């Protein structure tokens, strides 16, 4: 017996707009292509398939604004604004998504999507089928019958005849009469003036139709209403025609065209990869046995063209080997000895790499689909695994061999895990996460799951699939060994495949040197820095926390006194009421929760009233306490008085490092309170801290890249660059420059580096915009080659959608030609600054690698412990201070050969503050 088809007709055009407004604007892939609407639509489509399990699905689109309605009423929909710039490119992407799911694109010139939905529904109903319209458009309620219903996925509500009557008070076939009388300002359906939806419902409920209403005008109460119905009778009839959905559109589709088959990976995953919908790929109900990665895959190249690359055999999980007996152990050892390159990964019971008994298992891949999982510390009954101590000792032979080549994803983590177990890798280690970053630093994520989906056309087993989530989540040592094998071995397999793919691309795109000379060796330097950590003065930190608490309590009292009442200072809505309603201060933009009270708003209000500045001070003290004194104290107490932060090399677009746990880049050192945080960072007994800071490195790079003669001359003569700029811009001699003029010149110098406009300079100096423009014009008249540099790099970026550092690191700027002015202008500023900032980052990396190598070669006790912006911090044995000072200065200043010398300021002290 044939199953009853479950037929759903999908109002795609309506949902594109709903999705666009529901999902945050600004969402885009790493190439800058907006994706919020297509993401929302795809999420809705997947949910519909999962929840309603349709057998047939017909996606219906609008093809143009012109239809049979505009022929007899040209003003129809004439008031509708054009689609937003960032929505326009998404229409085509939604069509691609529909086709990727194996569905037809239903559209017809001269007819709107509503007419096609109505016509399809009518024809299918005549054939004896039940049909569900997937829409939130109330106009389509006129189509509801015993066989045709509506499902609104936004409200997750099913709508039949009873629900239509509840909504409009009339039967579905009378809905069009209500729409005709009431009109629709959005679609420019005029209706009858003075008659809204409630009045229209009352009239149609009483008389039955527009025709009957117009025949009985004399029975209707209200003089004005009668006049309008009399004067606008023809307009009412036209409005009804405009609102009525056609059911007679010429159709060329049959039910079989809409049959929903299980999607194919080779259709879906390349598009998901392009859009970077990595997690969403896990929700697609792919066909049974349809494995990914077989044959060839189309991959986007840097210039937007597509190339075909072989992805090799698919992931055959059944070929993975669980190593828990002598035979499998022997096979693993044989393969490790024979392999040229080995992909590996570690499984742990925690992400805290300083925790004891951390390692649960190791996975190895020697070729594609030849991968092993070696459990060493799983827990539970009947767990069969080899002795952990013996296994790790046996593996030492492989890890200690300097000729062996290893590949891992986020290798720094795995190296930490091995070191915690007393193991070190002597051979070469490649990191596919870092390789991905060098190839495309603008990629939204460099995680293994995302890269596997995007590059290997394969959806990885999710951690939650084996460990669960929420309160029921287990740790990996509790996962059954068969599941653990499939999950862990897949990671090693994927890393090895990505290595071969990325290595070829890095070489062909002339990026191998950047990766191999800078980013790859830097990973081990960062691992050592993290391992070293830095000591904290816990007594000082605790006292500082108490001081901040007292400051918070004092500020709270002062704020409440100024407000004349108590309120929650941390509540933006309550603060907004005080500022804008009670105190009557000028307000700015309004958010969903009330008037904005962000930093810029409070800073602007501070000149008008004392309270906003107090709130800023309160927020600053609260952040310092929670983010630094409390958090640092807690972390240090867990690790013998030292804090071990993470240094991230795959985050910033320009190649700069960032830090987390704690984020030392954001300590507000320009305030006295922020500087006190640095006093808590101290050297261990018998050591001092040495801080080495590049002096004006970005301005020196600007001099090199622009080849500006005056700037080069100033640096080569070791002049005060800001005083020299002040003299050039404002007139006079450098020795006659006042502190205020020097301050202004400094703002100009650094503002130029960041592509600052006259408006931005005026804001930072608190001067009129005209005056700021005059300063900038004067600057460029004295430094014309800097203007040439800016024009040159912006032009290059507009042509190539990227800029490069001095060493050839590529920094994508995909929004450089965007229609959105804000995106475009930001990218234009990046085109000026990114080559400078990126070159500065490369110089710092070269210095760090060189210094670390030298410290090891000379067998010094000194350890590099921090990197923040242009500064390196070392913990130096007291008897090594002179040696290390010279070593650090030399290596940092010789990290690059520029047209001007690099200079480093070095200080020494017991605390980080003293070292400055």
Could you report the per-residue pLDDT of 265-278, keeping only the tens digit for each? 888 888 888 888 87
186 pLDDT more than 80:
no
Which contiguous run of DSSP H or E holds residue 371? strand 370-375
301 pLDDT more than 60:
no
Query: Which alpha helices (H) appear in 766-903, and where do they start and end?
Result: 769-782, 784-800, 821-857, 881-893
The pLDDT of residue 2: 58
- Alpha-carbon torsion 502, 506, 511, 513, what sign? positive
* 533 Rama sector, left if φ>0, alpha if ψ -120 to 50, beta otherwise: left
DSSP 313: S
Q: In angstroms, rounded to a whole number, what is the distance separating the alpha carbons of residues 404 and 426?
A: 8
Range among 9-23, 431-445, 511-525, 652-666 with highest mean pLDDT value: 511-525
Percentage of residues of the chain with pLDDT beyond 70: 95
Q: In angstroms, rounded to a whole number, what is the distance separating the alpha carbons of residues 729 and 724?
A: 9
Judged on CB neighbours under 10 Å (0-12, 13-18, 19+), 221 is exposed
pLDDT in tens, 329-358: 999 999 999 999 999 999 999 998 988 889
Range among 15-24, 512-521, 753-762 with highest mean pLDDT value: 512-521
Averaged over 202-211, what is the pLDDT? 91
pLDDT in tens, 445-468: 799 988 888 888 788 888 988 998
- Which pLDDT band holds residue 308 (cuts at 50, 70, 90)? very low
129-132 CB contacts, 8 Å cutoff, 24+ apart: 129/5, 129/7, 129/255, 130/4, 130/7, 131/7, 131/8, 131/9, 132/6, 132/7, 132/8, 132/9, 132/52
309 pLDDT more than 50:
no
pLDDT in tens, 484-507: 999 999 999 999 999 999 999 999
Are 720 and 695 within 8 A, CB to CB?
no
Averaged over 283-300, what is the pLDDT? 51
* Residue 549, C-beta contacts closer than 8 angstroms, at least 6 positions apart: 625
293 pLDDT more than 50:
no
The pLDDT of residue 26: 65
pLDDT in tens, 600-610: 889 888 888 99
DSSP 165: H
Are 729 and 782 within 8 A, CB to CB?
yes
Query: Across-strand partners of 11?
Result: 60
Q: How far is residue 908 CA from its own chain's centroid?
A: 39
311 pLDDT more than 50:
no
C-alpha radius of gyration, the chain, whole number: 34
Claim: this prediction has a pTM higher than 0.85: no
Residue with tokens 């070159």: 839
The pLDDT of residue 408: 98
* 457 Rama sector, left if φ>0, alpha if ψ -120 to 50, beta otherwise: left
Percentage of residues of the chain with pLDDT beyond 90: 55
The pLDDT of residue 313: 54
Nearest to 902 by CA among 808, 818, 827, 806: 806
Averaged over 36-43, what is the pLDDT? 89
The pLDDT of residue 589: 61
Are 494 and 314 within 8 A, CB to CB?
no
pLDDT in tens, 566-597: 999 998 889 988 998 888 888 766 555 567 88
Tokens of 915: 């070292």
The pLDDT of residue 288: 54
Helix, strand, coil distribution of the chain in percent, nearest 5: 55, 15, 35
Are 191 and 183 within 8 A, CB to CB?
yes
pLDDT in tens, 63-76: 776 788 888 888 88
More confident residue, 308 or 174: 174
DSSP-based three-state secondary structure for 808: coil
Are 95 and 223 within 8 A, CB to CB?
no
Length of the chain: 916
Average of per-residue pLDDT values in the chain: 88
DSSP-based three-state secondary structure for 310: strand
740 pLDDT more than 80:
yes
Cα angle, residue 642 at apex, residues 640 and 647 outer, rounded to 5°: 135
Averaged over 658-667, what is the pLDDT? 83
């Amino acid at each position: 017996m044939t199953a009853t088809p479950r037929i759903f007709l999908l109002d795609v055009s309506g949902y594109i707009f709903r999705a666009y407004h529901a999902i945050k604007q600004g969402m885009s892939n790493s190439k800058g292509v907006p994706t919020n609407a297509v993401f929302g639509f795809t999420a809705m489509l997947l949910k519909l398939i999962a929840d309603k399990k349709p057998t047939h699905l017909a996606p219906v689109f609008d093809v143009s604004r012109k239809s049979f309605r505009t022929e007899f009423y040209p003003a129809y929909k004439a008031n509708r604004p054009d689609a937003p710039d960032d929505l326009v490119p998404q229409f085509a992407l939604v069509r691609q998504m529909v086709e990727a799911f194996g569905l037809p694109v239903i559209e017809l010139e001269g007819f709107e999507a509503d007419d096609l939905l109505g016509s399809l529904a009518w024809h299918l109903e005549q054939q004896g089928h039940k049909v569900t319209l997937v829409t939130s458009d109330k106009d389509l309620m006129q189509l509801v019958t015993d066989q045709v219903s509506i499902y609104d996925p936004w409200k997750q509500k099913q709508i039949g005849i009873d629900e239509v009557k509840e909504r409009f008070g009339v039967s579905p076939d009378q809905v069009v009469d209500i729409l005709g009388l009431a009109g629709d300002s959005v679609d420019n359906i005029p209706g009858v003036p003075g008659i809204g939806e409630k009045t229209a419902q009352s009239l149609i409920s009483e008389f039955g139709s527009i025709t009957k209403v117009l025949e009985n005008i004399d029975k209707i109460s209200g003089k004005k209403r009668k006049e309008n119905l009399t004067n606008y009778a023809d307009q009412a009839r036209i409005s009804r025609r405009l609102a009525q959905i056609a059911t007679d559109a010429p159709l060329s589709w049959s039910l079989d065209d809409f049959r929903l088959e299980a999607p194919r990976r080779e259709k879906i995953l390349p598009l998901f990869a392009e859009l970077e919908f990595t997690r969403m790929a896990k929700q697609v109900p792919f066909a049974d046995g349809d494995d990914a990665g077989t044959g060839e895959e189309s991959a986007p190249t840097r210039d937007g063209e597509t190339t075909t690359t072989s992805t090799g055999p698919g992931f055959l999980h059944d070929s993975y080997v669980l190593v828990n007996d002598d035979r499998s152990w022997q096979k693993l050892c044989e393969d490790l000895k024979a392999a040229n390159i080995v992909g590996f990964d570690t499984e742990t019971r925690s992400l805290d790499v300083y925790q004891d008994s951390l390692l649960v298992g190791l996975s190895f891949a020697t070729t594609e689909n030849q991968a092993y999982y070696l459990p060493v510390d799983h827990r539970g009954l009947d767990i069969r695994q080899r002795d952990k101590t013996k296994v790790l000792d046996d593996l030492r032979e492989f890890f200690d061999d300097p000729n062996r080549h290893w590949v891992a994803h986020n290798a720094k983590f795995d190296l930490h895990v091995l070191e915690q177990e007393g193991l070190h890798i002597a051979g070469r280690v490649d990191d596919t996460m870092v390789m991905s970053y060098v190839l495309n630093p603008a990629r939204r994520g460099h995680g293994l799951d995302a890269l596997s989906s995007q590059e290997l056309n394969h959806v990885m087993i999710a951690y939650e699939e084996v460990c669960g989530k929420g309160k029921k989540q287990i740790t990996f040592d509790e996962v059954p060994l068969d599941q653990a094998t499939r999950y862990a071995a897949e990671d090693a397999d994927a890393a090895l495949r990505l290595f071969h793919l990325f290595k070829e691309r890095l070489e062909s795109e002339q990026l191998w040197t950047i990766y191999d000379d800078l980013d790859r060796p830097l990973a081990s330097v960062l691992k050592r820095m993290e391992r070293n950590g830095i000591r904290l003065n816990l007594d000082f930190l605790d006292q500082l926390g108490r001081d901040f608490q007292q400051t918070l309590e004092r500020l709270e009292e002062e704020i409440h006194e100024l407000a004349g009442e108590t309120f929650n200072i941390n509540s933006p809505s309550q603060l907004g009421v005080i500022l804008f309603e009670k105190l009557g201060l000028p307000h700015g933009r309004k958010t969903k929760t009330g008037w904005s009270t962000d930093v810029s708003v409070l800073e602007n209000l501070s000149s008008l009233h004392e309270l906003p500045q107090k709130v800023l001070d309160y927020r600053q003290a609260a952040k310092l306490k929670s983010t630094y004194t409390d958090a640092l104290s807690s972390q240090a107490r867990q690790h013998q008085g030292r804090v071990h932060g993470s240094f991230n090399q795959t985050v910033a677009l320009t190649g700069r490092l960032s830090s987390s746990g704690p984020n030392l880049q954001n300590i507000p050192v320009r305030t006295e309170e922020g500087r006190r945080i640095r006093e808590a960072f101290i050297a261990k007994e018998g050591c001092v801290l040495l801080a080495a800071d590049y002096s004006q490195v970005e301005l020196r790079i600007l001099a090199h890249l622009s080849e500006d003669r005056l700037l080069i001359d100033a640096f080569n003569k070791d002049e005060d660059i800001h005083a020299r700029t002040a003299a050039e811009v404002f007139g006079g001699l450098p020795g006659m420059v006042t502190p205020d003029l020097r301050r202004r010149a400094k703002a100009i110098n650094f503002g130029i580096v960041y592509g600052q406009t006259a408006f931005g300079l005026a804001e930072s100096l608190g001067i009129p915009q005209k005056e700021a423009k005059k300063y900038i014009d004067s600057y460029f008249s004295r430094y014309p080659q800097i203007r040439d540099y800016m024009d040159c790099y912006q032009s290059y970026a507009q042509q190539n959608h990227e800029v490069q550092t001095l060493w050839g690191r590529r920094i994508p700027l995909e929004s450089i030609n965007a229609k959105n002015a804000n995106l475009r202008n930001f990218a234009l500023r990046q085109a000026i600054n990114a080559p400078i900032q990126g070159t500065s980052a490369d110089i710092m990396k070269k210095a760090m690698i060189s210094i670390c190598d030298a410290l090891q070669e000379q067998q010094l006790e000194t350890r590099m412990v921090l990197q923040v912006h242009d500064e390196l911090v070392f913990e130096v044995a007291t008897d090594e201070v002179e040696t290390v000072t010279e070593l650090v200065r030399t290596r940092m200043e010789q990290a690059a050969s520029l047209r001007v010398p690099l200079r480093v300021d070095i200080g020494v002290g017991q605390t980080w503050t003293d070292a400055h």
